[in-house]
Structure 1
Amino acid sequence: MFDPSLKTPAPRGNSLLRNPRRSALALLVAGTALGGIAVGTIEGRPAVAQTAIQPSGMAQKIPDFVGLVKQVKPAVVSITSTLKDDGSDDDSSQGGSQGGGGQGGQQMPFPFPFPFQMAPQGHASRTVEARGSGFIISADGFIVTNNHVVKGATSVSVTLDDGTVLKAKVVGRDAGTDLALLKVKPSAKLSFIALGESNDVEPGQWVIAVGNPFGLGGSVTAGIVSARGRDIGDGPYDSFIQVDAPINRGNSGGPLITQDGKVVGVNTAILSPSGGSIGIGFAIPSDVVRTVVAQLQKTGHVTRGYLGVTAQEISPGMAKALSLPATSGGPAAGALVASVQDNSPAEKAGIKPGDVITQLNGQKIANPKELAIKVADVVPNSKVTISYLRNGTTQTADATVANLANRGSSSNGQSGGQSGNPAGNGSIGVSLSPLTPELRQQLGINDGTRGVVVRSVRSGSPAETAGIQAGDVIVAVGNTMVNNPHEVVDAVHAALKKGDVALRILHNGQMAFVAVSPETSSASNGANSSGAGSDDDSGNSNNGDGSSDQDNNDSGNSNGGDQPG
């Protein structure tokens, strides 16, 4: 059917359209040529039709995936999971409730295709069927898919490309990366596909996705790699490959394949307000798949390394406050240590809050997410060398990475805010109180924590802009630990002479660094020239649950949490 929206408008600015006489001649020649007559008149001279135009240069050929598809399709399977329907709307059903999850209508992970196949009404125990995709990685029947495809399943079956249906056993699942490993018992050796090197994938490279979208098994779509290393907020180890190949519900667990026939990703999530493909899909890199699958195949579970730090990104303001090397726009490279867990490998290695981890075993660390991924990949009880900046000086330390599963209680670090005001002399706008036993009890702060309580924050001040709230505890100014309001005043006053102030605070139970830029106007509302006023009485303080929390500030920082382990 003709779609008028696809009609191509005439180009604007064409010289023939600006000259009625020449335009008419052009149309006449075109019209008579179509009728088989190739003679016209231009300015009294006969015009004879020429031979077909022969464009110069090499012709550009559109990629042809026919041969590739014939080879890889036998290794791609459809997966059906049977689940109990308890009437709840939890994530085990992978139904439409996931459709609105994430920012921007992000589908994480895919809901399964079309309405579930419900058993007749009145049965005491109803079951539903959910469908996804997977691919065979060995001739004896090991199959990779997504964890969310088989999570909560009472039984799993696999349909091969030739229609053969086999019962599958779940060998192991890993929620952290959303991967699962299945095993079937085939009557003969199966065709399988190898994992490629996702680190070699480049944006602009052609890829195909094969899977079971909307229950249509064996469907193939093609596109290009849009980006690498995408963090979509789905988990602590996000580093997805973004593709524009059409990916839809039911493609979950299917392979992303390069033109050399290697799997470089497992299709897992989409960004879609409507639930269908809009050309933004995400695949787990094959390098991650290789590591996780090897552990699942060997032990049925995944062990990850644990370092014991809470880290955050370094905003330009924070870099300035900590006197870190300048960068040409954007966050500075590295992971800023906001806190170190007691008795952790990091503490034993001498890592302290305020250090900036820049390398792990010689590999550069660009941000907290990279640190989390690289530490998680380290085999527990292995030694690593950490390079870090402390007071502008590069240092190294050796640490023995522990097992993440054996770690103690941990806390997720929150990002700190920053002010875009230029440095200058003035106040930051806070009033302080000593951390008395009464305030400790009121704020739920343990006896081991030392610092000074923020009693109030002046409206519109740099401190408020940075996200500091009443009830926050200032633990240190820069790398200087503080125990009373007067120490905070002195340390802030000294820091203001150099520019921005880096405060290490305890906010809602989370340790974080916050960069505060002084205001250029004179101090007001009783704040002294140091930018911090002190109160000797305990005063009344709340727990800092106001609307001006850190996530509402233009900090540019990410939640490091306990990501590195």
Structure 2
Amino acid sequence: MNTATNALEPSKTALPQRPLRRRLAASCFAVFTIVATAAVPLPVLARSTPESFADLAAEVTPAVVNISASTTVEARNRTLPQLPPGTPFEDLFEEFFNRRGQGGGGGDSAPSRPRSSNSLGSGFVIDPSGIVVTNNHVIGDANDISVIFPDGTRLKAEIVGKDSKVDLAVLKVKSDKPLKAVKFGDSESIRPGDWVMAIGNPFGLGGSVTAGIVSARGRNIESGPYDNYIQTDASINKGNSGGPLFNMNGEVIGINTAILSPTGGSVGIGFAVPASTAVPVIDQLRQFGETRRGWLGVRIQNVDDATAEALNLGTARGALIAGIDDKGPAKPAGLEVGDVIVRFDGKEVKDSRDLPRIVASSPVGKAVDVAIVRKGQEMTKQVTLGRLEDTEKQASLQQPSTETPTATRQALGLNMSGMTDELRRRFSLKDDLKGVVITRVDPNSNASDKRIQAGEVIVEVNQEPVTSPADVTKKIDDLKSQGRKSALLLVANAQGEVRFVALSIE
């Protein structure tokens, strides 16, 4: 044997001899381990990671623009100090204000001078004819808007339409040649972990490309009634607003709108309006110059676990109808207070936040099927949608008095009394409001935790009307005998606005 072979052999003097069968087994195990290790496939992430974003960026960047918006306002008049004639300071003050461009002298009001307020943002072309999309807050009330293209071309823009609730604006520019445009993609199919790329105008630097992943979907940041943001860690900063968020096919799946940052700069938490929310609004703005949202005419609240148990829903889901507009389309369609909407026009309503967004994106005048659960039974009603008017007003809440008259019954941490003229005056209750008046709430009760207050009125218990405290206690006793864990109360405030509250009866 040569030297190399001897080096691989175990020493016969250092190690005891093993039977051949055991040595073969050990050798086979070693070979198997090596082969198995070599056969393990590489992680999926390593195979799907893009080598570069350069080709994608080069393809779509010509359609991404900078937005310059300026607003000219009249400066407030400034009045020079009233000074005695001949005072040594008269000439000094006059010279000071003249230097600052305020003009005037003595005690006369200085003439105003227009001031200009400028903002910078981003946008993108969606139609070669010159249709540009951006955020509403980028242009605000600007009276001079320019769209600046990557090649330096600067075109004046006019507003086609804008919507503050989804924070979108559509602009129109005139070009002597077709413009590079990008198209929207399917934002509903993206998943947390998918790669995305943002292009915009951060801090006025011009076209900048950043990349990251989708961090989450369906984010509610309390910025409006239709919040449904895509969260991404692709760097988004001041000036990126209105710019596109691309998938790896070069399709716009979001419009970069907001960031969460304690510093004012990117900390990896950015939000984009999903294409599924933006496209219907953009289409309406292009067609009508305004939004025309569907309207159902109901007031809703969320369904928690206790409410779901009380309504025999199984799991907490849907939107619970707590009020119906007498002039809205829901009433003639047969929807009732206490119904839980679980599907709307074939779309699942997972919680109460889903419904306004789905309804608003539905065409005005469309007849839609609404699946509801009523007293444990699912049924379908057909509703012809009205139009949501942005000028709708909501009645303000009036705080009831804290005085507590003598109670006649107690249950669930509530002191209750039948409706009387004296109680109606004391708590300023609406004349046609009927039910059982709550005169005191135990601060250590579940009712207090659910924010029930003295002066409110119990209208129903488990969707059955009550007119006396005895009605309430009897229904609660019935629920206990059925083994139920909670009671569903329909509670009205002084103005008659109602909400459902599920209270534990254990």
* Band of TM-score, shorter chain: 0.7 to 0.9
Deviation at 1:303, TM superposition (A): 0.4
2:346 aligned residue (355, 362, 366):
362
Q: Is the 8 A contact 2:411 2:473 kept in 1?
A: no
Correspondences of 1:237-248 after superposition (within 5 Å): 237-248=226-237
Q: 1:458 to 1:183 in 2, by over 3 A?
A: same
Q: 1:271 to 1:121 in 2, by over 3 A?
A: farther
CA distance in 1, matches of 2:128, 2:322: 48
Residue in 1 that maps onto 2:418: 434
1:501 aligns with 2:490: no
Tell which has more relative contact order, 1 or 2 (C-alpha 8 A, sep 6+): 1
RMSD: 2.5
Residue in 1 that maps onto 2:64: 76
Residue in 2 that maps onto 1:219: 208
Q: Is the 8 A contact 1:149 1:253 kept in 2?
A: yes
Structure 1 unpaired stretches of 5+:
1-42, 44-53, 89-119, 414-425, 520-565
Q: 1:485 to 1:204 in 2, by over 3 A?
A: same
**One-letter code of the match for 1:320?**
E
Residue in 2 that maps onto 1:181: 170
1:381 aligns with 2:381: no
Local SS of the residue matching 1:467:
coil
Deviation at 1:121, TM superposition (A): 6.4
Residue in 2 that maps onto 1:232: 221
Q: Is the 8 A contact 1:427 1:518 kept in 2?
A: no
Correspondences of 1:247-286 after superposition (within 5 Å): 247-286=236-275
**CA deviation digits over 1:324-344, x for unaligned, max 9?**
21x3xxxx1211112222232
CA distance in 1, matches of 2:139, 2:387: 26
CA distance in 2, matches of 1:333, 1:204: 27
CA distance in 1, matches of 2:449, 2:146: 55
Q: Is the 8 A contact 2:365 2:385 kept in 1?
A: yes
Residue in 2 that maps onto 1:453: 437
State the TM-score, normalized to the length of structure 2.
0.78
**One-letter code of the match for 1:501?**
A
**CA deviation digits over 1:194-239, x for unaligned, max 9?**
1111112121111111011111110111000111111211111111
Q: How many residues align?
A: 419
1:319 aligns with 2:305: no
CA distance in 2, matches of 1:484, 1:344: 31
Q: Is the 8 A contact 2:308 2:317 kept in 1?
A: no
CA distance in 2, matches of 1:441, 1:449: 12
Q: 1:338 to 1:262 in 2, by over 3 A?
A: same
CA distance in 1, matches of 2:232, 2:251: 16
Deviation at 1:351, TM superposition (A): 1.3
Residue in 2 that maps onto 1:15: none
**One-letter code of the match for 1:82?**
S
1:512 aligned residue (475, 491, 499):
499
Q: 1:442 to 1:217 in 2, by over 3 A?
A: farther
**CA deviation digits over 1:462-514, x for unaligned, max 9?**
22122211122212111011223332232233234332111111247542111
Structure 2 unpaired stretches of 5+:
1-10, 12-37, 77-99, 103-111, 398-409
Local SS of the residue matching 1:385:
strand
1:210 aligns with 2:199: yes
Q: Is the 8 A contact 1:84 1:125 kept in 2?
A: yes
State the TM-score, normalized to the length of structure 1.
0.70
CA distance in 1, matches of 2:430, 2:392: 16
Local SS of the residue matching 1:368:
coil
Local SS of the residue matching 2:318:
strand
Correspondences of 1:333-352 after superposition (within 5 Å): 333-352=317-336
Q: 1:149 to 1:391 in 2, by over 3 A?
A: same
